[in-house]
Amino acid sequence: MPTITLALIVINALLYGLEVMTGPGMLRVFGLWGLNTPGAFHPWQLLTYSFLHASLLHLGLNMFALGMFGSALERKWGQLRYLLTYLLSVVTGAVTHLVVSGHLMRYGGPVIGASGGAFGLMLAYALYFPNHRIALFIPAFAVRARLFVLGYAFIELLLGLFNSQEGVAHFAHLGGLYGGWLGVQYFRGRGVFGMRQRH
């Protein structure tokens, strides 16, 4: 497994162990709290929330996605571009959640998990390897990466709009997808809005 991908997985696993040992203190300081929660939000939470997880299953699913999509991208891009795209996806996921769920829908948080970063990598993977087939559990139903991501994004949008169950930050996932797209466009020389830069 490439170095940065492995390092992210190890850091997330170690911090989950620290969470278990220290209790809710880390969540109060480093989880992503809504802007409508007085005194709870701090700027560093835009990044730190992604290194905390609610359960071993939550951690495992995110790290599985990170390893699955991130390994191929790190090998193709190199370490710096890969890490910057991942972190950009984490931040855009956080900002999207704060604006849509936190402000418009009055969801106060806290939000934790690396899903925003993982979704960004998933989108970038689909752009670079659109015809690679993804079979998460049933090999006979493997689908092309491009269709997998489009379908997943559509489901996340529906769940975000119509599912009132708290506990899953669907708009953070969608924001992560957007961050992955921004990273790809920027490093292709098209700027942050997808327009080709002049040299």
Can you give the pTM of this predicted structure? 0.88
| Residue of 137, 15, 19 whose CA lies nearest to 68 | 137
119, 89 Cβ separation under 8 angstroms:
yes
**Tokens read off for 24:** 């809710």
Reported confidence tier of residue 199, pLDDT bands at 50, 70, 90: very low
124, 180 Cβ separation under 8 angstroms:
yes
Has domain 3-187 been given CATH number 1.10.3720.10? Answer: no
Reported confidence tier of residue 50, pLDDT bands at 50, 70, 90: very high
- The mean-pLDDT minimum among 124-128, 142-146, 167-171 falls in 167-171
Higher per-residue confidence, 121 vs 189:
121
Residue with tokens 């809005």: 193
Give Cα 37 to chain centroid, integer Å.
23
As a whole number of angstroms, the distance between CA 46 and CA 49 comes to: 6
Q: Can you point out the beta strands (E) in the chain? A: 133-134, 143-144
Reported confidence tier of residue 77, pLDDT bands at 50, 70, 90: very high
In the chain, the amino acid numbered 197 is Q
Domain residue ranges of the chain, discontinuous segments joined by +:
3-187
Reported confidence tier of residue 44, pLDDT bands at 50, 70, 90: very high
pLDDT in tens, 145-191: 889 899 888 988 888 887 655 567 888 999 999 999 999 998 887 65
